[in-house]
Amino acid sequence: MNLPNTLTILRIFFVPLLVAALVQENFVLHVRGVVVTNEWVSLTIFLSAAGTDLLDGYLARRWKQVTTIGTLLDPIADKLLVSAAMISLVQVRAMPGWMAILIIGREFAVSGLRAIAAAEGYTIKASDLGKTKMFSQVVAISCMMISVRHPALRKVSVALLWSVIVFALLSAVSYFAKFWHKVDERVKNRRRQELLALERRRQRARMRQKGSRAAGGLAATIWKPPEVN
């Protein structure tokens, strides 16, 4: 387990801490006379987790430690973090539910495409649109967390969420347009080969069956039972 993959797994462990901090609306910390409410604790956890996303990718490329498991696990960790944050914000009535459903639904669709592509030997890396979408998500969710106790930022947060939706849909269309045809053709070709192999096995089985019947008939012709007087 290299350091970039460890950071990716660490980001996953941040998820339950983020949810716990967000839903505890009356949670307050007193640090040297400074009152720290739950949204600031949530923001700290969220930004720390998002920071590991930048760091693990940078280290993996710099140290040439890009692995298949890291390439697959990194987007899963991102989606868990973002989904947990959005669902928690819906829970505390800070984010419209339909926006969260639309964005999370897009994440599941792209994750499904990645899983199918990986099974067929393709690795879908994050595109520039996908990276822009992730950055806009971090900014929008951070602003939405602060708006829980500062309603003046509510309109700004909603506007930022609209930009997230735009980038999310554009990047999803880009992924599907680029990889769906390749994956679909690979699946069809593999299925066609499987059917051809199955048909060849059936033909060989029929030929063996006919051969055994012919051999049995020949043996019956050569050997006749003795006549009984």
Q: Is residue 211 assigned to a domain?
A: no
pLDDT band with cut points at 50, 70 and 90 for residue 87: very high
Q: pTM for the whole thing? A: 0.73
In a domain? residue 141: yes
**pLDDT for 118:** 73
213 belongs to a structural domain: no
pLDDT tens digit sequence for 55-76: 887 787 788 777 777 777 888 8
pLDDT band, very low/low/confident/very high, at 226 (cuts 50, 70, 90): low
**Given pLDDT bands bounded at 50, 70 and 90, which one contains residue 172?**
confident
Confidence of residue 27 (pLDDT cuts 50, 70, 90): low
Residue 197 lies in a domain: no
Q: Is residue 223 part of a domain?
A: no
- Residue 39 CA to residue 108 CA, distance in Å, equals 27
Q: Is the pLDDT of residue 86 over 90?
A: yes
Share of the chain above pLDDT 90, in %: 17
Whole-number pLDDT of residue 215: 63
**pLDDT value at 101 more than 90:** yes
- More confident call, 123 vs 89: 89
Interval 182-190 mean pLDDT: 70
Q: Is position 194 within any domain?
A: no
Mind spelling out the 3-state secondary structure of the chain? Answer: CCHHHHHHHHHHHHHHHHHHHHHCCCCEEEECCEEEEHHHHHHHHHHHHHHHHHHHHHHHHHCCCCCHHHHHHHHHHHHHHHHHHHHHHHHCCCCCHHHHHHHHHHHHHHHHHHHHHHHCCCCCCCCHHHHHHHHHHHHHHHHHHHCCCCHHHHHHHHHHHHHHHHHHHHHHHHHHHHHHHHHHHHHHHHHHHHHHHHHHHHHHHHHHHHHHHHHHHHHHHHCCCCCCC
220 inside domain: no
Q: How do residues 150-169 score in pLDDT, each as one tens digit?
A: 888 889 999 999 999 998 88
User: With 60 as the cut, is the pLDDT of residue 228 above it?
Assistant: no
The torsion of the CA quartet 164, 167, 173, 176, rounded to 10 degrees, works out to: -80
Our count of domains for the chain comes to 1
- Would 152 be classed as within a structural domain? yes
pLDDT band per the 50, 70, 90 thresholds, residue 132: confident
Full domain range(s) for residue 125: 3-185
CATH number of the domain bearing residue 127 = 1.20.120.1760
At residue 31 the predicted structure's pLDDT band, cuts being 50, 70 and 90, is low
